[in-house]
C-alpha cells in the first residue's frame, strides 16, 4: 500500500500588489528542509518553496504543512482555506504561528507552536492515524542536540546553494526591532559534529551544490570560542564557498576573521542597519559603531570576503540631511551589497510596542510588514522622504557604474593564499556571487517598494479613526 503524502510549503510572497512575486534568492530558508528531515518515514514527503514556484492546489498530497513568518500570515490563511476546501489537512508552524498562535489556530486543522524538533514526529503520527489535535506546543528553547540532517535532496534545483544549516539559535543582543526579542530564548549551540554532519549529508547533490553552504544563524559569533572551533572543522571540508551571518562587533576578533578565511567563507551578512549613531541608539543596536564600519569592513575585503549588509530606513532619529549624505557615506564604507529595507515594527517587538503606543502605526495590514512598505510615521522624516531616500540610495548603489567600480575595488584589494588553482578560482567565484547578488537586489529595489502618498496617508488615517476596532488588533504574543 502506498504511503500517505505530506507536502511542506514554505510561503513567501510580497502581497503589496496584484500579481504574485517569487524571489530568486540563491539559498532557501532552512525551515522546509529541516521539517522534512524530522518527518518520520510513515509518509512520503514533498517540499515546495514559494520563493521559486507557485503553490500547486492540484497536488496529490493528503497533508499540507505551511511554514510562514508575519507578513505572509494573511496569505497563509487563504492558502489554507483553498487546500481545506479540497479536503486536505492543513498544519501550520513557524515564527508567526509560534508567536501569535491565537491568530493562526482558527484558520488551520492544527497549529504547532514553537520549534519543530521535539514535537513534529508525533504530529505526523497523529495526522496519519486521524487523531490530529488542534494545537501542539513544543517545549520552550529545547536542547539542539541530535537534530537530523535537513533533506537537501528535496530542495528545488532553482536554488544555487541548497545546503543551509544553523549552528546556533538566538542572539545575546536585544535590538528593539528584532523578532528574537519577542520570546527571548537563550542563545543555544548545536554540537559541532551535528553541524558538520549536515554539511556532509549531501551525497545526493551534484558536486557544485555540495561545495557551497550557508550558515543562516542569527549571530554565528554569539559565542566566539565555539564559532572558532566550528570554523576550524569546516575548514577541513575544503568547501568552495561558505556564507554566514554574525553581529558587527565580531570583526574586532582577528582570529575569528582569519578562521572565516580558513573555512573558505566568501560572504558575510552583517546588519549595519544605519550610519546614523542616534538611529542605532534608538533601537538599542549598541554593538555597532559607525566610526569603525570602514576599517572593519576593509578587513573582510582584504581577505576576500564579500560584505552583504542590511540598511534600515525610517528609524526614529533619521533626518533628511542623513538621507542626503547616505549614498556617499555608503561608498566610503564600501559594502559589497546592501539590502535596504524600510523598518518594520514586527508585532510583539519593543519597537512595535513603542510605535503602537505612540499612535504612529497607520497601516495595520500585516501583508505590508515585509520591509518594502512604510507602515508607521517615523519621527523626523516624512513618508515621502523615506521613499525618495530608498529610491535614491538604491539607484546610486546599484547603478551599473557603481557595481563595476565596487567589483574592481574588491578584486584588486583581496588577497588569496593557497594553490594556484584556488587563487584563480576564488576571485572568479566571488565575482560571480557579487554580480548575482547585485542583480537580485537591484531588481528587488526597482520593483518592490511602495510609496505612501499624502492622499493615501490621509485615507489610511481616516480609515484608522473610523473603523479600526479593538478586535481587529493582534492578541498578545504567546508567553
Ligand atoms: C533565510 C532568511 C531570510 C530569507 C528567506 C526568508 C523567507 N521568507 O523564507 C530572506 C533573505 C529572503 C529573508 C528576508 C527577510 N527576512 Co529573514 N531571515 C532568514 C533567516 C536568516 C533564516 C530563516 C531560517 O531558515 N531559520 C531557521 C529555521 C529553522 O527557523 P524557523 O523558521 O523559525 O523554524 C523553526 C520554527 O519556527 C518551526 N517551524 C518553522 N516552520 C515550520 C513549519 C511547520 C509545519 C512546523 C511544525 C514547524 C515549523 O520549527 C523550526 C525549527 O525549530 C532568519 C534568521 C534565523 N536564523 O532564523 C531571518 C528572519 C526570519 N528574517 C527576518 C526578517 C525581518 C526578514 C525581512 C523582513 C528583512 C527585511 N527587512 O527585509 C525579509 C522579509 C522580506 C521578504 N519579502 O521575505 C526576521 C523575522 C521576521 C518575522 N517577521 O518574523 C528573522 C527571524 C531575522 C531576525 N532576527 O529578526 N530572510
Ligand atoms: S544583533 Fe541581529 S540577531 Fe541579534 S538581536 Fe540584534 S538584530 Fe537580532
Q: What is the pLDDT of residues 272-306, one digit of tens each?
A: 999 999 999 999 999 999 999 999 999 999 999 99
pTM: 0.94
CA-CA-CA-CA torsion for 441, 240, 302, 259, nearest 10 degrees? 120
Q: What is the pLDDT of residues 46-76, one digit of tens each?
A: 999 999 999 999 999 999 999 999 999 999 9
Per-residue model confidence (pLDDT) at position 18? 57
User: Order of strands across the sheet with 306-313?
Assistant: 164-165, 212-215, 241-245, 265-273, 306-313, 337-342
CA 327 to mean position of chain CA atoms: 24
Q: Output phi, psi for 182, to 5 deg.
A: -70, -50
Per-residue model confidence (pLDDT) at position 445? 82
User: Order of strands across the sheet with 5-10?
Assistant: 44-49, 5-10, 63-67, 89-93, 110-113, 135-137
Which one has a higher pLDDT value, 19 or 98? 98
**Cβ-Cβ contacts under 8 Å for 257 (sequence gap 6 or more):** 251, 299, 300, 303
Give me 306's grid cell. Answer: 564579500
Is residue 245 scored above 50 in pLDDT? yes
The domain made up of 5-137 has a fold known as: Rossmann fold (3.40.50)
Which one has a higher pLDDT value, 442 or 92? 92
CATH class assigned to 152-447: alpha beta
The Cα–Cα gap between 38 and 119 comes to 9
Question: What does DSSP assign to residue 397?
Answer: H
Is residue 320 scored above 50 in pLDDT? yes
The Cα–Cα gap between 349 and 369 comes to 13
Per-residue model confidence (pLDDT) at position 15? 55
Which one has a higher pLDDT value, 309 or 372? 309
Is residue 307 scored above 50 in pLDDT? yes
CA 16 to mean position of chain CA atoms: 19
Categorize the per-residue pLDDT at 471 as very low, low, confident or very high, splitting at 50, 70 and 90.
very low
Ligand 1 pocket, Cβ-based, cut-off 6 angstroms: 10, 12, 14, 23, 25, 29-31, 34-35, 65, 67, 69-70, 91, 93-95, 98, 112, 115-117, 120, 166, 178-180, 216-218, 341, 344, 346, 370-371
Q: What is the pLDDT of residues 413-455, one digit of tens each?
A: 999 999 999 999 999 999 999 999 999 888 888 776 777 755 5
Whether 464 and 395 have beta carbons less than 8 Å apart is answered as no
Residue 445's Cβ-count burial label (10 Å; 0-12, 13-18, 19+) is buried
Q: What is the mean pLDDT of residues 203-216?
A: 97
Distance 30 CA to ligand 1 centre (A): 8
Distance 228 CA to ligand 2 centre (A): 20
Question: What does DSSP assign to residue 339?
Answer: E
Q: Which of 170, 174, 177, 178 to mutate to test the pocket of ligand 2 (most atoms within 8 A of CB)?
A: 178
What does the mean pLDDT of the chain come to?
A: 93
Whether 314 and 282 have beta carbons less than 8 Å apart is answered as no
Per-residue model confidence (pLDDT) at position 371? 92
The Cα–Cα gap between 475 and 25 comes to 32
Distance 69 CA to ligand 1 centre (A): 6
Ligand 2 pocket, Cβ-based, cut-off 6 angstroms: 171, 173-175, 178, 180, 218-219, 247, 271
Is residue 477 scored above 80 in pLDDT? no
Per-residue model confidence (pLDDT) at position 470? 41
Residue ranges of domains in the chain: 5-137, 152-447
Q: What is the mean pLDDT of residues 95-112?
A: 98
Distance 132 CA to ligand 1 centre (A): 26
**Cβ-Cβ contacts under 8 Å for 131 (sequence gap 6 or more):** none
Q: What is the mean pLDDT of residues 341-345?
A: 96
Amino acid at each position: 500500500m502506498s504511503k500517505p503524502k505530506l507536502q511542506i510549503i514554505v510561503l513567501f510572497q510580497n502581497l503589496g500588489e496584484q500579481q504574485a512575486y517569487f524571489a530568486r534568492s540563491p539559498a532557501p530558508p532552512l525551515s522546509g528542509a529541516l521539517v522534512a528531515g524530522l518527518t518520520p518515514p510513515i509518509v512520503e514527503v514533498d517540499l515546495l518553496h514559494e520563493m521559486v514556484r507557485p503553490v500547486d492546489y492540484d497536488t496529490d498530497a493528503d497533508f499540507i504543512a505551511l511554514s510562514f513568518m508575519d507578513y505572509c500570515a494573511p496569505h497563509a490563511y487563504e492558502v489554507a482555506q483553498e487546500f481545506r476546501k479540497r479536503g486536505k489537512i492543513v498544519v501550520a508552524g513557524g515564527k508567526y504561528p509560534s508567536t501569535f498562535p491565537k491568530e493562526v489556530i482558527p484558520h488551520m486543522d492544527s497549529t504547532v507552536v514553537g520549534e519543530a524538533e521535539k514535537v513534529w514526529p508525533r504530529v505526523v503520527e497523529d495526522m496519519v492515524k486521524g487523531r490530529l489535535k488542534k494545537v501542539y506546543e513544543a517545549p520552550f528553547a529545547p536542547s539542539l542536540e541530535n537534530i537530523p540532517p535537513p533533506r537537501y535532496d528535496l530542495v528545488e534545483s532553482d536554488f544555487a546553494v541548497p545546503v543551509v544549516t544553523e549552528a546556533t539559535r538566538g542572539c545575546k543582543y536585544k535590538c528593539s526591532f528584532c523578532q528574537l526579542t519577542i520570546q527571548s530564548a537563550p542563545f543555544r549551540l548545536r554540537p559541532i559534529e551535528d553541524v558538520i554532519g549536515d554539511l556532509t549529508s549531501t551525497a545526493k547533490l551534484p558536486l557544485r551544490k555540495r561545495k557551497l553552504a550557508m550558515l543562516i544563524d542569527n549571530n554565528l559569533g554569539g559565542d566566539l570560542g565555539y564559532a572558532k572551533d566550528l570554523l576550524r572543522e569546516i575548514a577541513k571540508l575544503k568547501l568552495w564557498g561558505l556564507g554566514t551571518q554574525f553581529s558587527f562587533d565580531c570583526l574586532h576578533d582577528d582570529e575569528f576573521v582569519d578562521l572565516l578565511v580558513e573555512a573558505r567563507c566568501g560572504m558575510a551578512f552583517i546588519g549595519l542597519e544605519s550610519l546614523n549613531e542616534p538611529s542605532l541608539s534608538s533601537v538599542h543596536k549598541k554593538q555597532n559603531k559607525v566610526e569603525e564600519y570602514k576599517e572593519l569592513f576593509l578587513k573582510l575585503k582584504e581577505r576576500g570576503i564579500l560584505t552583504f549588509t542590511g540598511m534600515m530606513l525610517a528609524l526614529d532619529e533619521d533626518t533628511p540631511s542623513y538621507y542626503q549624505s547616505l549614498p556617499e557615506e555608503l561608498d566610503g564604507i564600501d559594502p559589497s551589497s546592501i539590502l535596504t529595507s524600510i523598518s518594520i515594527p514586527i508585532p510583539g517587538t519593543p519597537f512595535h510596542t513603542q510605535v503602537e503606543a505612540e499612535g504612529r502605526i497607520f497601516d495595520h495590514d500585516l501583508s505590508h510588514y515585509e520591509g518594502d512598505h512604510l507602515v508607521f510615521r517615523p519621527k523626523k522624516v516624512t513618508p515621502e522622504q523615506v521613499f525618495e531616500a530608498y529610491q535614491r540610495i538604491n539607484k546610486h548603489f546599484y547603478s551599473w557604474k557603481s557595481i563595476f567600480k565596487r567589483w574592481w575595488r574588491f578584486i584588486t584589494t583581496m588577497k588569496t593564499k593557497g594553490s594556484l588553482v584556488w587563487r584563480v578560482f576564488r576571485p572568479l567565484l566571488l565575482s560571480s556571487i557579487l554580480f548575482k547578488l547585485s542583480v537580485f537586489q537591484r531588481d528587488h529595489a526597482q520593483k518592490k517598494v511602495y510609496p505612501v502618498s499624502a492622499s493615501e496617508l490621509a485615507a489610511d488615517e481616516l480609515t484608522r479613526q473610523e473603523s479600526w476596532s479593538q478586535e481587529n488588533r493582534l492578541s498578545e504574543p504567546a508567553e
